[in-house]
A = this chain, B = another copy of it.
Amino acid sequence: MEGIEVGRKMSEVTIIFQPDGKRVQVEQESSVLSAALKAGIDLISICSGKGSCGKCKVIVDEVAAVNAVTLEELEILTPEEVDKSVRLACFTRVSSDVTIKVPEYSRTGKQRFQIEGIETPVHLDPTVKKYYLELEAPTLEDPRCDADRVINAVQNVGNVTDLFVNLNLLKTLARKLRENDWKFIAILWKNEIIDIEPGDRTSRLFGYAVDIGTTKLAGYLIDLSSGRVAAADSLMNPQVPYGEDIISRLNHPEQNKLQQAVCEGINQILEMLLERTGVKSQEIYEMTAVGNTVMHHLFLGIDPLYLGRAPYPPVVRNSIAVPASDLKININPNGKILVLPTIAGFVGADTVGVILAMEIHKKDELSLVVDIGTNTEIVLGNKEQLTAVSCASGPAFEGAHIKFGMRAASGAIEKIVIVPETLDVIVQTIDSKPPVGICGSGMIDLVAEMLKAGIIGVGGIFKRDLDNPRIREVENVKEFVVVPASESGTQAEITFSQKDVSQIILAKAAIHTGIKLLFKRQNIKKEDVAVLFVAGAFGSHINKESARMIGIFPEIDLDKIVFVGNAAGTGARMCLVSESEKVLAEEMSKFTQYLELGIDPDFQKVFLNSNIIPYADLDEFPEMSQVLKDAGNYPEVPPPKF
């Protein structure tokens, strides 16, 4: 706040957030959550202030300055927490000046993001082109207008027709031409002359590809003369404080703030990349962007409201090019931003990017692509046909609705082994820090290991009695102690309860149902799948065997399962580097058939059967069944089929 105290209204109070030391003034009775948002504190709020996620825990230094603990909070907070003045920021309203401590576990923090994706070679043919030109100055004998003079010259050296000059460039064209003594580089985007620059720098040509994830943004600075990534980085999507999941975002009343936030994030990554490479923002003439349909709409300022209401239609499907200045993206202001096309309300431009990257449309063999996230997109097919479905797998893998769930940040448990005999637990955490929670890959390991150890059965129900100190019952709910308080980074136990297991099973059931129905509709058997590509940052850290064990993947050879990282970003980069990939993206957006799972008559039945681990028809998973038999955890009575 630079020490300046702006005139304060009588009804305002000051909140100081610690340990940041950030100070913010808000109206009396504002919630601590909204104040944190205003102060730019990275407080986790998965439910966007609805009071259901219980993640926005803060510590109040002066209880008299806030309202009394609410009944809702008492359901979520432990008595110890209440004693220590822990509150949920969304329920805490401030009546006078107060200091609020935001503990590390309530912060979104710096997450581990995978930005690398598979490298798919493409023919180098960027949409942005440069031509070095030397023109004769106009004379009384040849007083052609400046624009026609440039256009005619470009036509002479390049194979481009219907050329025209960008209006913004026209505004200063006359001076630019003369200041450069009619020797200059003309920069084209398709048939539009978007800028001219001095000198002979035909070899310097850059682009920026962005993957707008719900949680993270990944940005790639691309040297268009080689097609190579000059630098890449990622950032938490600055929309996260407005709501962690896409449903809270599309329902957010201030859509323009969300648009502004994501654009600022994109600019922030760009700034880092420019600093690292010495490239100038003026030298970047195109940005391509992918993202799910909600991210796509929010980025373009398109109201996404109806994407959250059945039948979830997008507003627009085709790719859209916008002048960079319209979106306030800090590339060359006359540059273009191309947002790739979408396929359906829940199969977005990111899926188009993945299709391009995996080139499944070029192959005879059958590919299955799974891009796991809050929403999991699945594409099946080959060059004859592509079909996509979307499954509401939910945010459980990202830590939501799981008591000790968290994102893949420092201290998150990412790998787990349970010793069946003793139920001793061996954990591996991100950055090898003392464990503070369990991230997605850790939860998948945990459920698989609990199954193999016989802690839970194929129905996901705790089946062992309290014969081991690791297994407890609290208020009629059984739970497994993953990390005792003594080994925990929070000095409190990290547990995994029956409820948590059910959340993971629900998530895996959604994905399994999608794959199962896709197979059924296309009349495909799992053996027909030549390769299963697992895309997305999350995917790469999953233990293949654990994921297959609990039925997230069909039972195919582990060799056929390939992690391809941020393939959506790869698709965005390919479109940046090659004009024909842009055309292909548009084609794929129409070629890929969207299958609405909700209207499949078998949906309910398949979904219920998918709640068995790995599946109600255990014969579909012979290898897994054998593992369970060996572990003595194969059901004597087959699980019910619906």
**A interface residue numbers (CB < 8 A to B):** 138-149, 164-165, 167, 170-175, 178, 300-303, 305-306, 310-318, 320, 322, 342, 344-345, 594, 596, 598-599
CB distance from A182 to the nearest CB of B (A): 12
CB distance from A368 to the nearest CB of B (A): 23
Alpha-carbon gap, A596 to B139, bound state (A): 10
- B164 touching A318 by the CB < 8 A rule? yes
Which 8 residue pairs of A and B lie closest in terms of their CB atoms, listed nearest first? A145-B314, A138-B313, A147-B316, A145-B317, A140-B311, A143-B311, A140-B599, A174-B306
Partner of A596, one of B143, B165, B170, B300: B143
Residues of B with C-beta under 8 A to A311: 138-140, 142-143
CB distance from A305 to the nearest CB of B (A): 6
CB distance from A311 to the nearest CB of B (A): 4
Alpha-carbon gap, A274 to B104, bound state (A): 61
Residues of B with C-beta under 8 A to A170: 300, 302, 315-316, 320
Alpha-carbon gap, A140 to B598, bound state (A): 8
Closest to A293 in B: B145
- A345 touching B143 by the CB < 8 A rule? yes
Alpha-carbon gap, A356 to B311, bound state (A): 52
CB distance from A484 to the nearest CB of B (A): 49
- B141 touching A596 by the CB < 8 A rule? yes
Closest to A312 in B: B143
Alpha-carbon gap, A313 to B142, bound state (A): 9
Closest to A320 in B: B167
CB distance from A173 to the nearest CB of B (A): 5
- B146 touching A316 by the CB < 8 A rule? yes
- A171 touching B301 by the CB < 8 A rule? yes
Alpha-carbon gap, A172 to B144, bound state (A): 43
- A313 touching B144 by the CB < 8 A rule? yes
Indicate the member of A148, A175, A345 with the most B CB atoms within 10 Å: A148
Knowing A147-B316, A315-B146 are in contact, say whether A302-B164 is a contact too (CB < 8 A).
no
- A303 touching B175 by the CB < 8 A rule? yes
Alpha-carbon gap, A141 to B147, bound state (A): 50
- B145 touching A315 by the CB < 8 A rule? yes
- B305 touching A145 by the CB < 8 A rule? no
- A318 touching B147 by the CB < 8 A rule? yes
- A305 touching B175 by the CB < 8 A rule? yes
Residues of B with C-beta under 8 A to A318: 147, 164
CB distance from A621 to the nearest CB of B (A): 31
Residues of B with C-beta under 8 A to A317: 144-145, 147-148
CB distance from A303 to the nearest CB of B (A): 6
- A141 touching B315 by the CB < 8 A rule? no
Residues of B with C-beta under 8 A to A138: 311, 313
- A140 touching B310 by the CB < 8 A rule? yes
Closest to A307 in B: B174
Residues of B with C-beta under 8 A to A310: 140
Alpha-carbon gap, A314 to B149, bound state (A): 11
Q: 14 A-B pairs, CB-CB below 8 angstroms?
A: A140-B310, A140-B596, A140-B599, A142-B311, A143-B311, A143-B344, A144-B313, A145-B314, A146-B306, A147-B316, A147-B318, A148-B316, A167-B322, A170-B315
